[in-house]
Amino acid sequence: MLYLWIAAASAASLLLMAGFIHLAIRMGGAGRALGEAMSRAPLLDVLVAWFTVMPGIAGFFAGAQLGGDGSWWNSLAHALLGALAAIIGQVVAMQTWVFLHELANPTARKGPRILKVLNAKVGRVRNHGAVWWTALAVPVFAIVRVAELAMWPMLVLLVKFPRYKQGEWVNVSRHKFSGLVGHDLIWCLYCDWMTGVWSLGTEMLRNVESFWCPIRFSSTAKCENCKIDFPDIEGGWASAQSDIAEAAGIVDAKYPAPNGDNSWFGHPARLTVNGRDPGGQ
C-alpha cells in the first residue's frame, strides 16, 4: 500500500504541475511572460528536475523512511522500491497527459504526425521501445546539467573562462511548433532540452581543452571525428608530432594577458571585425 501511495503521489504531483503550466500560459500577458521564463534556464532547470529526477529521489527517501525497519539493508531495499514506485507514477502521469493532450487536440491527432510515420517505418513496438530506451539517458543529462551549474562558475572565477548566458542554450521552444501533440510533443521537448544541455557542455569543454591541452591527437581519425565539436583542433592546437615547447608557446601566444579573455581560440569574443584572432596566431 505504501508504494501505491508513492506512485499516486508521484503521478499527481506531475499532473498538477502540468495543469498549472497549461493554465498559467493562458493568463494574459503575465501568463505569457511566465511561460517564456519557464521555457529557459534557470526556471526551466527547476521544472525539468520536477518532472524527471525529483520524483525518484522523493520516492527513494519516502521508501527508506516509511518502509524500513531500522536496518540499513532493509531501508535500502524499501528505498529502491520507493524510487521504482515513483518512476511508475511518472510513466502513468506522462501517459495520462499524452492521452488528455491528444484528446484535446483531435485535428492534430488525426493529421500528419512524426509518430505515425515512424511507426509505419519501423513498427509501433520498435519505435516506442526505442524512444522509451532513450529515457534511460535522462540521469546522464541531469548530471551534465548539474556540473554546468555547479562547476563552471568557479572556472570563470579562477581562470577567466567566458561567462555564458545559459538560457540561450538550455531552453525549449518546440511547443510553439504547429501540430505537435501528445507523444510527438513530449519527446520533441525532451530532445530540445537535452540538445541544449549537451551543446553547452561541449562549448564549455572547448575552453577546457584549448586552455590546458592544446595538442592534436595522434589518431588522424579521432582528429577528424572531433574537429566539428572542437574547432581548435584545426584552428591552433599543436601538432601531435611536435613537442611540449610548441604547445607551451601556443598557450603563451593565445592567452597573453593574465586576467584577459581565456576562451577557446575560435570563440566569438576573441574575433575582431576583421576575423583575426587577437591571441596572435
**What is the per-residue pLDDT across 24-64, written as a single tens digit (0 to 9) for each?**
988 989 999 999 999 999 999 999 999 999 999 999 999 98
Q: Is the pLDDT of residue 281 over 50?
A: no
CB 38 within 8 A of CB 21: yes
Q: What is the pLDDT of residue 253?
A: 92
Confirm whether 277 is domain-assigned: no
Query: Looking at the 3D structure of the chain, how many domains does it have?
Result: 3
Same domain? For 145 and 59 the reply is: no
Q: Provide the grid cell at 181.
A: 501533440
Same domain? For 100 and 118 the reply is: no
Q: Where is the domain boundary, 59, 89, 104? A: 104
- pLDDT tens for 14-27 read 999 999 999 998 89
Same domain? For 91 and 118 the reply is: no
Confirm whether 180 is domain-assigned: yes
- pLDDT tens for 210-253 read 999 999 999 999 999 999 999 999 989 999 999 999 999 999 99
Q: Where is the domain boundary, 211, 235, 254? A: 211
Same domain? For 120 and 88 the reply is: no
Q: Where are the alpha helices (DSSP H) in 105-231?
A: 106-110, 114-122, 124-134, 138-159, 182-212, 220-226
Same domain? For 119 and 25 the reply is: no
Confirm whether 276 is domain-assigned: no
CB 269 within 8 A of CB 261: yes
The secondary structure of residue 166, as a DSSP letter, is: G
Please tell me the distance from the alpha carbon of residue 177 to that of residue 215, in angstroms, as a whole number: 43
Confirm whether 98 is domain-assigned: yes
Give the pLDDT band (50/70/90) at residue 69: low
Same domain? For 205 and 264 the reply is: no
Same domain? For 115 and 206 the reply is: yes
Please tell me the distance from the alpha carbon of residue 23 to that of residue 59, in angstroms, as a whole number: 27
Domain that holds residue 220: 213-270
Confirm whether 97 is domain-assigned: yes
Q: What is the pLDDT of residue 65?
A: 85
Same domain? For 144 and 201 the reply is: yes
Q: Where is the domain boundary, 69, 104, 139? A: 104
Q: Is the pLDDT of residue 273 over 80?
A: no
Residue carrying C-alpha cell 571525428? 225
Same domain? For 81 and 147 the reply is: no
Q: What is the pLDDT of residue 68?
A: 65
Same domain? For 169 and 247 the reply is: no
| Prior bond of 231 cis (ω within 30°) | no
